[in-house]
Structure 1
Amino acid sequence: MNTLLFICLAVYSATAVSLKHVDNKYSRFIKYSDYDGVMHTVDLEEQLDTELLDDFFKNPDNNRYLLYTRNNPVVSQTLRLNNTNSITLSQFDARNPTVVIVHGWLNDQHTKLNIVLTDAFLRKSNVNVIVMEWRRLALSNYVTATAGVPAVGRRLGQFLEFLHSVTGAPFETMHIIGFSLGAHVVGNAGRELGGRVARITGLDPAGPLWNLNSNRLRASDAIYVEAMHTDGGVLGLGIGSAVADADFFPNGGTSQPGCLTSLCHHDRAWQLFASSVTYNHFLGRECSNMLQVSLNNCRGQILNMGNDDLSKKGSGLYRLNTQRSYPY
């Protein structure tokens, strides 16, 4: 095992020990329903797959960058880190904004959130959409996937730096979006770039093993960082606490109308975001504290939740109420 991996695993192990003794939100075993509706038991103290992690630290091709534009909205083109031709011979247009979408645990390039968000952005405006797939690690056990998030995120940051160097695409026209574990991935990508990208959106950032984790998404990771919390209840899959410049809590942030499972509450974050890109109709009301969020008695200023505005600014806690079905 190389020195860098050893150091990273040592740091992660220390964090995991701390979480066991200090963070009482989650027990060792949590229930998780997958996308086929099958319920699984997740062991938050499961053994790390160090061989897989070692490969992710060494091999940049474990991250795949799949480009979609209005010229190729269905069939992607693969862009590669340190491969100039893969970019210059593609449909990538540096004159257009760039949107990067990063999936979460147990997902891959074909997961519905990638398809829906890509379609929403391309219908709305002429942009480059890059779906970053990290399926080999995302399909491993949850503890291993969590431990590898910083490496995946740093590699994404290095890819965007390379994209900038090859094409001149400004960081100020980049919007990076991540769901669940992917929200922490994009935070690490933004950190690798020194917070220079225009905007990061975290869609219900993952909660288990992240409440006290220094590698989680934070406000300094981009010029503007926004988080949407939809499953932050006691045993929710989302982190539930403020992590960004602006944190939105639809329907209080713990459960969503029309949902009966934690996975449904969790997924509602990307569904709401996709709708906001199309309609920009969600108006959050600023709250003074989380008690106001819970009681739905916020009286502060209004800030739109979601949308595709690269110059968006704002800070604070926001509550809004939505409907049970699209466009919510």
Structure 2
Amino acid sequence: MQTGVQLTLLLTLTIAVVYGETGFFLSTRRVQENPQQVEAEVEALVRSSFYAADPAVLAIPRWLGNISSPEISAVVSARLQQQDSNIFSVDLTEASDETEIIDSVASLVIVLNNQFDVPLDRILVVGFAEGVHLAGGVAVKVQQQLGRQLSQITALDPSSGKDLDHKLSQADAEFVEVVHTNAGGEGTWEQLGHVDYYPNGGQTQPGCSTDSCSHERAFELLAEMWSPENDFVSARCGTVESLSASSCRWSTHKMGQKEEEQPASGIYFLETRQSSPYSRGAYFISFL
């Protein structure tokens, strides 16, 4: 019996070494410059700057990304500019197993909901590149465990997801919004959410000469998407092939904006500038 226990322990330790573990860093306005490393358990959160009355944001970076990844910095900065929040940045430096990542992040959501009474509609999950699909997997796991869906996933230039078991879909959360800025390059053309935005056609962004630049533009737009001054006026299009100012029907809906009722599902086109402020409003009015 003792030998069996030792073998089990050895196997567990070996798996931990091979796959690594998912880490979490908490940023709030009180510790914005010095994120606190936390664990998905009550004591660690009580000892941190976590404040249960504030909404929570879970930021999932690209594969093997960490708190130094620019997409994480962008989420933290953009959100804390607008409101007090608990932002949990997911550190994937040592994590290489998709199931472990999803289980770990989902366990944090469940602790927030069960132990601190943070409603699921006060928890936003934001993913970038491969992190988009991990976010979808987390949402599915949460629903399996709690019997209720997460309210929203914000997906920033998702990768194809071909090397992952879970691919984001609109079934993963009550509302899934997707921003495509490098489709056909480091991102995908595939419509994955309730609303899929394709700024400037979704493939190449103004001022960018590389795929990486266009890919990362997705999270650079966040600050304006979450701002009350958001002017990312969008036009609803019939197909990806018809993405243009003249072929789509302009609306009053703005990218990143969720009113009391979610916007009409579909594909949206908008134009941006090459630097901040990126928004340009609507430049072509059509009554197609």
> What is the TM-score of this pair, normalised by structure 2?
0.83
Match runs of 1:1-328 below 5 Å: 54-55=15-16, 62-81=21-40, 83-137=41-95, 148-194=97-143, 196-207=149-160, 209=162, 215-233=166-184, 236-278=185-227, 279-293=229-243, 296-299=246-249, 301-307=251-257, 313-314=262-263, 315-328=265-278
CA 1:57–1:299: 2 relative to 1, 3 Å: farther
CA 1:65–1:106: 2 relative to 1, 3 Å: closer
The separation in 2 between residues aligned to 1:179 and 1:101, in whole angstroms, is 8
CA 1:267–1:69: 2 relative to 1, 3 Å: same
The separation in 2 between residues aligned to 1:262 and 1:53, in whole angstroms, is 38
The separation in 1 between residues aligned to 2:55 and 2:259, in whole angstroms, is 9
SS of equivalent residue, structure 1 residue 135? coil
Pairwise CA RMSD? 2.5
Deviation at 1:282, TM superposition (A): 0.9
Query: Conserved in 2, the CA contact under 8 Å of 1:224 and 1:312?
Result: no
Query: Conserved in 2, the CA contact under 8 Å of 1:154 and 1:192?
Result: yes
Quote the sequence identity (%): 26
The separation in 1 between residues aligned to 2:81 and 2:193, in whole angstroms, is 28
Question: What CA deviation, in whole Å up to 9, does each residue of 1:14-50 have, x standing for no partner?
Answer: xxxxxxxxxxxxxxxxxxxxxxxxxxxxxxxxxxxxx
SS of equivalent residue, structure 2 residue 35? strand
CA 1:285–1:167: 2 relative to 1, 3 Å: same
The separation in 2 between residues aligned to 1:174 and 1:291, in whole angstroms, is 34
SS of equivalent residue, structure 1 residue 253? coil
* 1:30 equivalent in structure 2: none
Number of aligned pairs? 261
Question: What CA deviation, in whole Å up to 9, does each residue of 1:81-127 have, x standing for no partner?
Answer: 2x321011222112111111111035321122212221121121111
Letter of the aligned partner of 1:55 in structure 2? A
Query: Conserved in 1, the CA contact under 8 Å of 2:235 and 2:245?
Result: no
Question: What CA deviation, in whole Å up to 9, does each residue of 1:277-325 have, x standing for no partner?
Answer: 2342212111112222157510154422125x58561221100011111
Deviation at 1:58, TM superposition (A): 7.4
The structure where helix makes up a greater share of residues is: 1
CA 1:253–1:114: 2 relative to 1, 3 Å: same
CA 1:202–1:282: 2 relative to 1, 3 Å: same
Deviation at 1:57, TM superposition (A): 9.2
Specify the structure having the higher radius of gyration (Cα).
2
* 2:281 equivalent in structure 1: none
Query: Conserved in 2, the CA contact under 8 Å of 1:149 and 1:184?
Result: no
Query: Conserved in 2, the CA contact under 8 Å of 1:101 and 1:130?
Result: yes
Letter of the aligned partner of 1:113 in structure 2? E
The separation in 2 between residues aligned to 1:85 and 1:177, in whole angstroms, is 25
For structure 2, list consecutive stretches of 5 or more residues without a partner in the other structure.
Answer: 1-11, 279-288
Runs of 4+ more than 6 Å apart: 56-59
The separation in 1 between residues aligned to 2:17 and 2:152, in whole angstroms, is 26
